[in-house]
Amino acid sequence: MGLGINMATNGSNNIRVGIDIGTSKVVCLIAEYVDHELRVIGLGSQTSRGLKNGVIVDIESTVSAIESAVNDAELMSGKQVTSAFVGISGGHINGLNSEGVVGIKDKKVKVSDVDRVITAAQAYAIPDDSQLLHVLPRDYIIDQQNGIKEPLGMAGVRLETKVHLVTCNRNSAQNISSCMKACGITVEGFVLEQLASSYSVLSEDEKELGTCLIDMGGGTSDVAVFQNGAISHTANIPTSGDHITKDIARALQTPSMQAEELKKKYGCASSSIIHENETIEVPGMAGRKNKIFSRMALASVIEQRYLDIFGLIKQKLNLSSLENNIPAGIVITGGTSRMEGVAQLAEEVFNAPVRIGSPSGLIGLSDILRNPIYATAVGLVLYSQKSQEEDHMNYLFMKDKNIFNKAFRWIQNNF
């Protein structure tokens, strides 16, 4: 965006920018990579009104929220944002597992063999209105030996891969691009929001052992299951914090704004931890008198919605036989994870250990950025760094493979 003053743009290759266009807020986060550290230099956050359940429904107000968030981050950092990694979410996202198999040409796996097997795994009929977002390798198998993370250089005759493919609706992605273009920003890459959040809240151990990440925002609850270090399942529930606020407004007959306040101040997702005699004063609708409710009544409304969301997620995990394959348990992040009692309730539903995931991985502003509402924005910056570290020539094709693989490929191609 033009600020009318002389500023360095983020074309210089040590600046990383993530823009999270959420249902509740738009965040622009700028970090600088210096001395092997990512230091936050700019943060802008603006209330968002142009999205419904994670999808843009009003271009004009979305553009204005992005402009405002980017402006604040630019002013703070003294940099001009010209490109960014952007989060994408919503009911139009589809995740599915696919496989590919090829013969190894010279009995030793080369870059070209890996390229061919990944291409083979993408041989899936993507509907005309969709586009491929990610190809996330889960496993390589050489001559029936599975569990190979890095196949390059290994001997064999048959190379197989298992991948998780993520597709999105073409128009939804196009709408995000148009909003960014209107702000003078090029989309360097779209990143599935729960994939971005996983970079900032999950440990390598959790991903390796098996864990389920739930990013509960304002409009959507985004799910990603990790096994053996890679994503094996993604899902999206079009319900989250905004629906809880609406439930409260309806049940306690109070305006939405007051319902949102009551939710954050007195809300609890687990009615069993509330004292029976606690009461709250609830503002009446349209000039009506305030009413006194028990805090238990508020908690029951909230609990029911969390139970519905967790129930749907449990069903999806069950359908994919994943429920008993996540020994590291569940990690919940996003603004809607901040409610008291969420972890307790989720532990009861999933019968698994649950923790609330706060983002980390960047230096600076940590007192602000440790809030789960910033999980995606912080993750986008970390994702951007990972992409930057990859071989630039192969980057577009290799987007989601590990860094070692790319470094190896670059060496093979250049020497």
Could you say which of Mg ion, ligand ATP, none residue 54 binds, taking C-beta under 5 to 8 angstroms by partner kind?
ligand ATP
Residue 160 backbone zone (phi > 0: left; psi -120 to 50: alpha; other: beta) = beta
> Is residue 22 a contact residue for ligand ATP (CB under 6 A)?
yes
Based on CB atoms, which residue is closest to ligand ATP, 269 or 398?
Answer: 269
Q: Choosing among ligand ATP, Mg ion, none, which partner's interface includes residue 357 (Cβ < 5 to 8 Å by kind)? A: none
**Dihedral sign of CA atoms 398, 404, 405, 411 in order:** positive
Segment contacting ligand ATP (CB under 6 A): 19-27, 112-120, 134-142, 392-400? 19-27
* 3-state helix vs strand vs coil in the chain, percent to 5: 40, 30, 30
Binding test (CB under 6 A) with ligand ATP, winner from 10, 15, 17, 23: 23
Q: Which partner, ligand ATP, Mg ion, none, binds residue 240 by CB below 5 to 8 Å per kind?
A: ligand ATP
Q: Which 3 state secondary structure label does DSSP give 121?
A: helix
> Which sign does the torsion angle of CA 338, 342, 346, 352 carry?
positive
Q: How many amino acids of this chain bind ligand ATP (CB under 6 A)?
A: 24
Residues 6+ apart with CB under 8 A from 36: none
At 174, list the tokens.
């196009």
Residues ≥6 apart with Cβ < 8 Å to 125: none
Mask for 264-283, x = binds ligand ATP (CB under 6 A): x--x----------------
Binding residue (CB under 6 A) for ligand ATP from 77, 336, 384, 405? 336
In the region spanning residues 303 to 332, those forming contacts with ligand ATP, defined by CB under 6 A, are: none
Write down the least CB distance from residue 89 to Mg ion, Å: 7
**Partners of residue 28 on adjacent β-strands:** 19, 44
Using CB under 6 A as the binding rule, whether residue 242 contacts ligand ATP is answered as: yes
Per the structure block, which two tokens stand in for 357? Answer: 């995931």
Contact 311, 281 (CB under 8 A): no
Mark out the alpha helices in 210-362 (DSSP H runs).
241-252, 256-266, 295-319, 342-350
Minimum gap (Å) between residue 22 Cβ and Mg ion? 4
Residues numbered 15 to 34 that lie near Mg ion (CB under 5 A) are 22
Interface characters, 361-400, with Mg ion (x: CB under 5 A): ---------------x------------------------
Distance CA 117, CA 120 (A): 5
- The reply on whether position 240 binds ligand ATP by CB under 6 A is yes
Binding site for ligand ATP (CB under 6 A): 22-25, 54, 89, 217-220, 240-242, 245, 260, 263-264, 267, 334-336, 338-339, 373
